[in-house]
Structure 1
């Protein structure tokens, strides 16, 4: 392997992998000298390398000096751009095992069914090419708890041993649909809602790995990278940044939990919830309490709210509250007598979606969902637009008029 700095743009690929155990490193040659890397990366490079072609790779373990805290502080804010501009992100899940080849074949068949607009066979059995148990084992692999690299990739190739799936999978569980294409769409609070259950090699990266995605000012004191600071101090500083100042924050060394002391105002209770996955927005209805704070939100929200892609689903009987000093409500749940925060930032779903849903529900079978209707719905690149398109497609009898002109507008 050779390190190159051509001084100009060049097609490159960026492996995405789990660092794994670093106690038994392997040695590779880099610019003629020995260089030690972890076993998992070593195995990945064996599968990635091509004896016939030169491949240009950006590998974080090699291209960043992880023993130099100043260099890490400079490089980590650039990670989003590095993975986002890569010609392809190479996802390495590990060696083939637990019928992973069968899992890949199942995913390939599911992709073919989806692209063809067909529904899977009614009997999803190994005889029809569907291996559920193998897929579940595949999804247990550590990589699926990684933080975010695939979310910004323009093209991906997923590898597991000798099996490989190539192509951008916009609906995959590893790729949330609302990852912003440019800085300026999601706050750190919203990103934490999405990613706080994901794994990181170092606890500091639970925060720092998200800096390249946020619309928040990266120069804010709480967001300046400092790997020399103890984790509990980093976490305390970060929580004080995303939560209102009246709250007292307590953290513990090597723990991800935060204990908060402060005031909140009850808005209402969640009475029903519409479907959940970790990659799409979740809608819920609210039974408001009779307070001035709740009346303010009842007037704005009518009866419905949404949360963005979230690591934890909202449930019926969860409570919507406004933390003192906050601009957006949070969702909490009682656990062993104590309230825990499920979602930091909930939003109004907006009257347009309620109107659309009402029309669709009462339009019957003759609802005129035409090409022009879809073109208007997709003309605004926003979460609300996507929600309305989902409603239209749901009530179009499984045959929405998705024409070439509709795709051009989208």
Structure 2
């Protein structure tokens, strides 16, 4: 609504909040394949029944809302991760392949692993085209005949290193990782990045030295 008319109606009243949350609870916002679609698009139209608006308008309005997520604890991070991609569509150059701000496959998995998929393989395969990594030698090309536990092992070794031991199970999305290493330092502080909802800055102080490192990483929903 025009700025001068905002006082005539509040989108933050109880009835509006319930209606908006009901919309955001729809499965579309939870599906992992949606991420690939909105991440590659340069023009997005949001439609619900006879109503429609541009994706940028949808995200701009959403960002101004003061929604209460008390009864929907898992919804906020899910919605923000997809609206972040939708809102950036109009800024993507024509004929350019998508790159999630240089995000690695490991970061994308961390951000979006709670998304839903009919086949668990798609929790990895959907994100391959969004990754900045060169995955040609990692054995992660789509192959649905590969058991899920094998795919998870390949994923972990691709993100970390081939030398680690990875224990997995077909029926669980969990891995046990064993390796050797040394403690070089400890995190002295963690701060949120106001420019990105899913990014934190970690300050690491190395042992026995005065040096410090500012490390920015995206964390999942």
Q: What's the TM-score once normalised by structure 2's chain length?
A: 0.67
* CA deviations over 1:87-106 (Å, ceiling 9, x no partner): xxxxxxxxxxxxxxxxxxxx
The number of residues matched between the two structures is 185
Would the aligned equivalents of 1:204 and 1:234 in 2 still touch at CA under 8 Å? yes
Distance 1:210 1:276, change over 3 A: same
Corresponding position of 1:306: 216
Q: Which runs of 5+ in 1 are unaligned?
A: 1-108, 313-410
Q: Which of the residues 235, 244, 247 maps onto 2:152?
A: 235
* CA positional deviation for 1:127: 4.5
Corresponding position of 2:185: 267
Matches within 5 A, 1:53-202: 109=1, 127-130=9-12, 131-147=16-32, 148=35, 149-169=37-57, 173=80, 174-176=82-84, 182=97, 185-202=102-119
* CA deviations over 1:226-272 (Å, ceiling 9, x no partner): 10111111111121111123321111113211111124525322524
* CA positional deviation for 1:286: 2.6
Q: Which of the residues 219, 222, 234 maps onto 2:136?
A: 219
Partner Cα separation in structure 2 for residue 157 and residue 257 of structure 1: 36
- Give the match's secondary structure for 1:128: coil
Would the aligned equivalents of 1:151 and 1:175 in 2 still touch at CA under 8 Å? no
- Give the match's secondary structure for 2:56: coil
Please, which moves more after superposition, 282-291 or 226-235? Answer: 282-291
Matches within 5 A, 1:387-398: none
Would the aligned equivalents of 1:270 and 1:284 in 2 still touch at CA under 8 Å? no
Corresponding position: 1:252 with 2:169 = yes
- Give the match's secondary structure for 1:168: helix
Would the aligned equivalents of 1:183 and 1:215 in 2 still touch at CA under 8 Å? no
Would the aligned equivalents of 1:284 and 1:305 in 2 still touch at CA under 8 Å? yes
Please, which moves more after superposition, 168-177 or 202-211? Answer: 168-177
Partner Cα separation in structure 2 for residue 129 and residue 262 of structure 1: 52
Would the aligned equivalents of 1:154 and 1:168 in 2 still touch at CA under 8 Å? no
- Give the match's secondary structure for 1:307: strand
Would the aligned equivalents of 2:47 and 2:53 in 1 still touch at CA under 8 Å? yes
* CA positional deviation for 1:199: 1.5
Matches within 5 A, 1:343-382: none
* CA positional deviation for 1:162: 3.4
Please, which moves more after superposition, 171-180 or 222-231? Answer: 171-180
* CA positional deviation for 1:275: 5.2
- Give the match's secondary structure for 2:166: strand
Q: CA RMSD for the aligned pairs?
A: 3.3
**Max Rg structure:** 1
Partner Cα separation in structure 2 for residue 190 and residue 164 of structure 1: 32
* CA positional deviation for 1:204: 0.5
* CA positional deviation for 1:283: 3.9
